[in-house]
Structure 1
Amino acid sequence: MSESNIKHLSFTKRPISVPADYRPSYKIAQICLTLKYSCIGSKSGLLKLHLFSWAFKRIDNRNELLKYVNSNFQSEFSVWSIEPTLNRALHIATAEKYCSYSKGTYKLEEKGFLFCDNIEADEEILSEEISLLKQIGKKKITDTRLKELANQWTLFND
């Protein structure tokens, strides 16, 4: 074994940027906007929130979702991802009263509506997400339709 001539070793802590997709505030904004624009009564189940979170990640995902919706749910549709970052953001959003949770449903609260208003005040913030949500609207993707789709996956993959 060779000996090292190092007498002193030190480390300097440097800031590490966190990708936007992992920042709770970014995910909370997406959750609030989804509840406002694409959920009847500004309420949604977890599966729908994960679907939109997946669609926001990549343009290909967004296009696949739009194709599926515009084909009246007749085109092929792949399984979307379930994200732990969304789950963490939902815990924070409910704790901070942006939304509430009851019986498997998340509901946008007054603080969440105000957060959406602040986001919308700047037309450049989350504009792609808002555009997608407005294109899809509130009535096209229901929690029932998503549960049926998810059940098809389990039937084919048993």
Structure 2
Amino acid sequence: MKNNILIPSEYVKFDAKPDAVPYKYRLSYRISITCLILKITGGRSGCSLTKIHLITISMYSTKSMDHLLAYLNEPKSNFLTLRFDPAVNKTINFMLADKIIYQQKNGLFRLSDKGKKFTQKLIRSNELLISEKSFLNNISTHLSEDIIKNISNTLLG
């Protein structure tokens, strides 16, 4: 199976930067967040790339997080903006290459055994990603793949 499912022509590159990269842009943070998204919101069937994008982008600000939660509580009176961030695709590609996740035949992503072990350490920690875990627990399984499909169809249909 080919590991570069999303963007076959791109590879992960590491270049030295003159300034420190803010934590939200670091690969280790993005991998951690993606693992938590898959574990906490993925349900039994897995998680689509669109869902990962929607949740990750919602985590960029408190306002965006509140907006997503408001949508889940009252979808008819709220709207969502679905954006795609190339950094999410690069994170997914790296996670596939490192065998932290795998893609099922239905296209949904799941944590591998390696990813599950890593994620359990994150979940058990009372010091790491506290606000992120709280937000994802509020979403839990309320953001189903059916809702994601409806959002996509509304925007793209």
Give me the TM-score of the superposition, normalised by structure 2.
Answer: 0.82
State the alpha-carbon separation in 1 of the partners of residues 17 and 155 from structure 2: 45
The secondary structure found in structure 2 opposite 1:74 is helix
**CA shift digits 1:37-91 (9 cap, x unpaired):** 11112611100000110111100000001111112x2222131321111110101
CA separation of 1:74/1:32 partners in 2, compared to 1, >3 Å: closer, same or farther? same
Amino acid paired to 1:133: L
Aligned-pair distance for 1:124?
2.5
Amino acid paired to 2:114: K
Q: 1:21 pairs with 7, 20, 24, which one?
A: 24
Instruction: Confirm or deny that 1:34 pairs with 2:5.
Output: no
Q: CA-atom RMSD, angstroms? A: 1.8
State the alpha-carbon separation in 1 of the partners of residues 23 and 45 from structure 2: 24
Is the contact made by 1:47 and 1:143 (CA closer than 8 Å) also made in structure 2?
no
The secondary structure found in structure 2 opposite 1:57 is coil
- Max Rg structure: 1
Aligned-pair distance for 1:15?
3.6
Give me the TM-score of the superposition, normalised by structure 1.
Answer: 0.81
Question: Where does structure 2 lack aligned partners over 5 or more consecutive residues?
Answer: 1-15
How many residues of Structure 1 are paired with residues of Structure 2 in the alignment? 141
Partner of 2:53: 50
Is the contact made by 1:51 and 1:80 (CA closer than 8 Å) also made in structure 2?
yes
CA separation of 1:61/1:98 partners in 2, compared to 1, >3 Å: closer, same or farther? same
The secondary structure found in structure 2 opposite 1:33 is helix
Is the contact made by 1:24 and 1:85 (CA closer than 8 Å) also made in structure 2?
no
